[in-house]
């Protein structure tokens, strides 16, 4: 984001008290907290931050940090369910990051459970289809015959006393 790109001018950004609790109990590191507070400060009124790794590496801390460090912190915050964003392997550019415990109009609080459930359900479906299509009796038998062939080659090269 550039100067003046703040999605909401003025106003306040509420920080949930359980963030303080997690910090005090050692469940969140200072860099994670600093990044999360920055992300919350730049979120729109629906609790969504539009950000990029490159911008965060420059803006979120006093000194520039590496994009891989930002990625590591974001993955940690996601695993702790403070934020949610679509997995983006190998992609660059701006992405949407959703915040947990965001105060919406009408005193409603935005939760991320539904986003995480959708992601987990999709992952389970893929895992089941992969397990069914890739792991069959044929594959196991084929794998064992390959191992026997490798062992025969080793014994030929190194002598019959060779054991893997």
List Cβ neighbours of 71 (8 Å cut-off, separation of 6 or more): 53
Percent of residues, the chain, with pLDDT higher than 90: 40
| Structural domain 17-111, CATH architecture | Orthogonal Bundle (1.10)
What integer is the mean pLDDT of 24-32? Answer: 94
List Cβ neighbours of 14 (8 Å cut-off, separation of 6 or more): 103
User: Is the per-residue pLDDT at 109 higher than 70?
Assistant: yes
Q: Is 48 exposed, middle or buried (0-12, 13-18, 19+ CB in 10 A)?
A: middle
Structure tokens, 44: 């729109």
Length of the chain measured in residues: 164
Give the C-alpha separation, 51 to 56, whole Å. 7
Q: What is the mean pLDDT of the chain?
A: 79
Structure tokens, 20: 């303080």
Structure tokens, 98: 């959703």
The whole model's pTM is what? 0.65
List Cβ neighbours of 67 (8 Å cut-off, separation of 6 or more): 53, 54, 57
Q: Which of the 8 DSSP states describes residue 10?
A: S
User: Is the per-residue pLDDT at 116 higher than 90?
Assistant: no
Tell me how crowded residue 4 is: count the other CB atoms within 10 A of its CB.
6
Summarised one tens digit per residue, pLDDT across range 131-158 is 444 444 444 455 677 777 777 777 777 7
Q: At what angle do helices 30-41 and 67-79 cross, to 10 degrees?
A: 90
- Do 6 and 50 meet the contact criterion of CB atoms below 8 Å apart? no
Summarised one tens digit per residue, pLDDT across range 37-65 is 999 999 988 889 999 999 999 999 989 99
pLDDT value for 148:
78
List Cβ neighbours of 94 (8 Å cut-off, separation of 6 or more): 50, 51, 52
Give the C-alpha separation, 35 to 46, whole Å. 19
Write down the residue that tokens 């991320």 correspond to: 112
Domain assignments of the chain as residue spans, ordered by start: 17-111
pLDDT value for 1:
47
The more confidently predicted of residues 156 and 2 is 156
**Where residue 125 falls among pLDDT bands split at 50, 70, 90?**
very low
């Amino acid at each position: 984001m550039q100067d003046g790109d703040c999605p909401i001018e003025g106003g306040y950004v509420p920080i949930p008290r359980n963030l303080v609790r997690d910090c005090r109990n050692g469940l969140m590191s200072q860099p994670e907290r600093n990044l999360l507070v920055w992300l919350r400060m730049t979120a729109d009124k629906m609790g969504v931050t539009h950000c990029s790794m490159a911008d965060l590496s420059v803006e979120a801390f006093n000194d520039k940090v590496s994009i891989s460090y930002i990625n590591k912190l974001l993955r940690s915050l996601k695993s702790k369910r403070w934020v949610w964003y679509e997995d983006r392997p190998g992609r660059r550019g701006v992405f949407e990051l959703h915040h947990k415990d965001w105060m919406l109009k009408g005193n409603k609080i935005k939760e991320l459970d539904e986003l995480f459930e959708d992601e987990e359900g999709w992952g389970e479906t893929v895992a089941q289809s992969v397990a069914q299509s890739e792991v069959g009796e044929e594959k196991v038998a084929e794998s064992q015959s390959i191992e026997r062939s490798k062992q025969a080659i080793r014994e030929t090269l190194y002598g019959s006393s060779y054991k893997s």
